A and B are shown apart, each in its own frame.
Chain A
Amino acid sequence: MNRREILSHFTLADGILIVFVIIAIIASSLFVYKKGVKSDYAVIEYNGKSENISLNKDKIITLENGIVVEVKDGKIRVKDSDCPQKICVKHGWLRYANDVIVCLPNKTIIYLLKKSDLDYITR
């Protein structure tokens, strides 16, 4: 059975279906991979505690477990940490809602939220 014979089976409805699915793929990927929403709050969880930090003020915080967190221009990063691989430091700056930095050795998670999300959590 050659290629032409197989192609001859395709109907108009097949074509419409395939085009429709391709459009759905493009539309959903545009929706999923669009740029994140700017965040204004960071949540830092460590040692079973959770701390909210506003990103509007520049500052440098040293947590009890030795992690140094830097806030600057609405972004946040781990500036320094005493963990061996320093994955959290290499992660760089976070600025969009739902971005996360995790430092497993220090059991610390930093993630960003939109203000509306934060209201929901603190309520």
Chain B
Amino acid sequence: MKSSQEKILILAAYSIMAVLLFIVEGMIPKPLPFMRIGLANVFILLILVQIDFRSALVVTLAKVIIGNLFSGLLFTPLILFSLVSSVLSLLVMYAVYKSRISLSLIGVSITGALSHMMTQLVLGYFLFIHTSRIFALLPLILLIGLISGLITGILVIILYKNIQLNLS
């Protein structure tokens, strides 16, 4: 099998995992809609480390578009939150991963989670709730970002060790 075919298969598999995790996580009842771990990010970060940025972008877009399609949010203003924050957090993770700062995958995942949540907070301020009172959520959002980043980071490390890709 040629390696480009393998790559497509891996992209498909990771996209499916990210989409599934996104949908299932959205189904779990929670007190506030943004209180999620962001398990889909496990596979986005994993593919970013294992293959490259473009593949990670494909998985991210698949997560946003297909995930929101099945969550019934595709053509609502909420997709903007999902799209902008997902792509931006991927960019931040890529920058941090490539930079000389010696963050482990856990640290990269925490920065990704934090930038994801901060983007949503700022977007929420500019698009929907034009009151600075929304920033009362800041401590909660930082805390959720830290915890979810830790969890996804540890999962990425475990998966990275156990999934060996042989792309030539």
Contacts and interface: CB of A to CB of B under 8 A. Distances in A.
Interface of A: 1, 6, 9-14, 17-18, 21-22, 24-25, 28-29, 32-33, 98
Contacts of B49: none
Contacts of A9: 104-106, 157
B138 interface: yes
Interface string B75-101: 000000000000000000000000001
Given A13-B101, A13-B104, A18-B107, 13 more contacts: A1-B157, A1-B158, A1-B162, A9-B157, A11-B107, A13-B107, A14-B107, A17-B103, A21-B114, A22-B146, A24-B142, A29-B139, A32-B139
Interface string B116-131: 0000000000000000
A18 B158 contact: no
A98 B133 CA distance: 10
A11 B102 contact: yes
A25 B158 CA distance: 28
By Cβ-Cβ distance, the 4 closest A-B pairs, closest first, are: A29-B139, A14-B107, A28-B138, A13-B103
A21 B146 contact: yes
Contacts of A24: 142
30 contacts: A1-B158, A1-B161, A1-B162, A6-B154, A6-B157, A6-B158, A9-B105, A9-B106, A9-B157, A10-B104, A10-B106, A11-B104, A12-B102, A13-B102, A14-B104, A14-B110, A17-B110, A18-B107, A21-B146, A22-B146, A24-B142, A25-B139, A25-B143, A25-B146, A28-B138, A29-B139, A32-B135, A32-B138, A33-B139, A98-B133
Contacts of B139: 25, 28-29, 32-33
Contacts of A14: 103-104, 106-107, 110
A36 B103 CA distance: 39
> Interface SS of chain A: helix, strand, loop or mixed?
helix
A10 B106 CA distance: 7
B102 A32 contact: no
B111 interface: yes
A18 B106 CA distance: 10
A18 B110 contact: yes
Interface string B124-168: 000000000101101100110110000000100110011000000
A66 to B, nearest CB: 31
B71 to A, nearest CB: 29
A28 B27 CA distance: 30
Contacts of B143: 25
B161 A11 contact: no
Contacts of A10: 104, 106
Contacts of B133: 98
A65 B142 CA distance: 44
